[in-house]
Structure 1
Amino acid sequence: MTDRPDFPYYAGRPVLLSGRAWLILMASLALGFAALTLLPLPDFPLNLIPALVFLGLPLLALRLVSGAHWTALFRPVGLRQIGLMLLFGLLTFAGSMAMALILSPVISFSENPVSLSVGAMTAPELVARLLPTIPQLVGEELLGILPFLAVLWLWVTVLGLSRRAGIALALILSALIFGAAHLPTYDWHWGQALIGIGSARIMLTLAYVATRNLWVSAGAHILNDWSGFLLVFAFGDAPITPEG
């Protein structure tokens, strides 16, 4: 594991971002997320537009503040990385199921609106619905990983505190931010969003922590979400998980 590079942007590798740069990145995430949620276009291919804006705005902002180093979040993908996508996708799905079992006696779950409609779709309709989720879920990885790196920058580089503690804090805070972003999707169920979605987010961020490769966490995220959708499509229903 010693061949892994350090996390980018927080400590000068490959470039140190300033506080202003991090504010620009956080603002781009907020604007992209607003486009995704406030500009729903249900029919393919128009439904690709909000997803592409959600993904594209943070990448453009990252290119603006880091120059040619915007690609530092991404590393090459080979068989090992594909295997890790499968592993972390399975772990996330299994963890979501386990969390649902733990939380179900005390929290009422709200279904993901997409899951509710998938069971009645034809195969072409399902494909048209799933295709936009590819850029959307890569965008969601930026929503998870960039705040993680921002907290790490603040904790380690600005405050000069422990890197190990910074990673742990960044995992928790970025998961809570990610969970809070899902509150409208799940009818403002705070427990489901912050604990259920947040715990799944931690698993996906750990995929990035283990590999320093956003493609791996994005692949795991796609596999996790698509597994639930395909189960609903195949059987008409699926076990409810915090992610729906």
Structure 2
Amino acid sequence: MISTDRDFPFYNGKPVEIDGPGWLLVMVSLAAALLVLSLVPLRTFPYNLIPALLFVAVPVLALSKVAGHWKCLFRPVGFRSVGLMVLFGVATLLGSMAMGLVLQQFFELYSNPVADAIAAMSATQVSATLLVTGIQLVGEELFGILPFLAVLWLCVQRLHLSRRLGILIAVVVSSLLFGAAHLPTYDWHFAQSLIGIGFARLILTLAYIVTRNLWVSAGAHIINDWTGFVFMLEFGHVPIKAVE
């Protein structure tokens, strides 16, 4: 069943409230899914579909366990939703490029290893890589949005803060957590990961806040990343970016 309630799910009893132990299980599942994605030694197609699919499936199964269902995260997609995917995808791309230009004034930035590898791939290999990364990016949205909802629940239900302040804190904390998860990708570059990736994550989370639809933030994320891959294919480099 897909909820028609326009508020965020799980933090206020709609459609159900997840309690502290439930949120802890969801957070552990996200950490486990990230470890599977990072450590399972399956790097060639089609075997690399397995860790990508598990990256999505593990938190979804945990959410289903503690909440009874998970479909309220994914609302129907119409023309407006597609338009917002494009809008937030472009906003993320431009925002990360702008942040990359700022950070480049103070730090040496690292490129995404997937983007670097794509430049040397055949058309078949590129297609396979886009398929795998498309699935992985849905998992990355779960990794970004579920902590947002968990922190929102903590702020409103346990710390008794206002919903508006809870949303603000949840956006900042979840963006920093998302950035921290990218530290190994960028050789433990704290500024690029926490500020650059975190800033892009903030824009993508705004896509979910506006629409309450994880498909929209996932679509925007895919547009952002795949655009970088296309630049790498066509020109051998990507514009200065602080995000994947």
**TM-score higher than 0.5:** yes
**Corresponding position of 2:13:** 12
What residue is the counterpart of 1:58 in the other structure? 59
Rounded to whole Å, the distance in 2 between the matches of 1:72 and 1:23 is: 20
Query: Which residue pairs with 1:241 in the alignment?
Result: 241
Partner of 2:221: 221
Which segment is superposed worse, 164-173 or 117-126?
117-126
Quote the offset at 1:240 in angstroms: 2.6
- List aligned pairs for 1:1-244, cutoff 5 A: 5-67=6-68, 69-244=69-244
- Structure 1: gaps of 5 or more residues: none
Deviations 1:107-163 (A, max 9, x none): 111111111111111111111111111111000000000000000000001111111
Q: Please, what TM-score do these two structures have when normalized by structure 1?
A: 0.97
Distance 2:192 2:116 in 1: 17
Q: Distance in 2 between matches of 1:39 and 1:243?
A: 24
1:80 aligned partner, one-letter code: R
Amino acid at match of 1:20: P
Flag the 1:89–1:4 CA change in 2: closer, same or farther, 3 A. farther
User: Residue 36 of structure 1 aligns to which amino acid in structure 2?
Assistant: L
CA contact (8 A) 1:88 1:204 kept: yes
- Determine the C-alpha separation between the residues in 1 that align with 2:92 and 2:133: 17
Q: 1:120 to 1:139 in 2, by over 3 A?
A: same
* Residue identity in the other structure for 1:18: D
1:4 and 1:208 map into 2 onto residues whose CA distance is 14
Residue identity in the other structure for 1:34: L
Q: Give the aligned length.
A: 241
Letter in 2 for 1:64: K
Determine helix, strand or coil for the equivalent of 1:16. Answer: coil
- Code of the residue aligned with 1:6 in structure 2: it is D
Return closer, same or farther for 1:238/1:91 CA change in 2, 3 Å cut-off. Answer: same
The alpha carbon displacement at 1:4 in A equals 6.3
Question: How large is the RMSD of aligned CA atoms in angstroms?
Answer: 1.0
- Cα distance between partner residues in 2 of 1:106 and 1:191: 10
The unaligned stretches of length 5 or more in structure 2 are: none
Q: TM-score, normalised by structure 2?
A: 0.97
**Runs of at least 4 residues of structure 1 off by over 4 A?**
none
2: distance between equivalents of 1:125 and 1:5?
Answer: 41
Change (3 A) 1:4 1:65: closer
Q: For residue 5 of structure 1, report the CA deviation from its aligned partner.
A: 0.8
- SS of the aligned residue for 1:131 comes to helix
After TM superposition, give the deviation of residue 58 of structure 1 in Å. Answer: 0.2
In structure 1, what is the Cα distance between the partners aligned to 2:25 and 2:96? 32
Structure 1 residues 142, 11: CA separation in 2 closer, same or farther (over 3 Å shift)? same
Cα distance between partner residues in 2 of 1:146 and 1:212: 12
The separation in 2 between residues aligned to 1:156 and 1:194, in whole angstroms, is 25
SS in structure 1 of the partner of residue 70 of structure 2: helix
Deviation at 1:183, TM superposition (A): 0.1
Aligned residues of 1:112 and 1:186 also touching (Cα < 8 A): yes
Given that residues 183 and 193 in structure 1 are in contact (C-alpha distance below 8 angstroms), is that contact kept between their aligned partners in structure 2?
yes
Q: CA deviation at 1:72?
A: 1.1
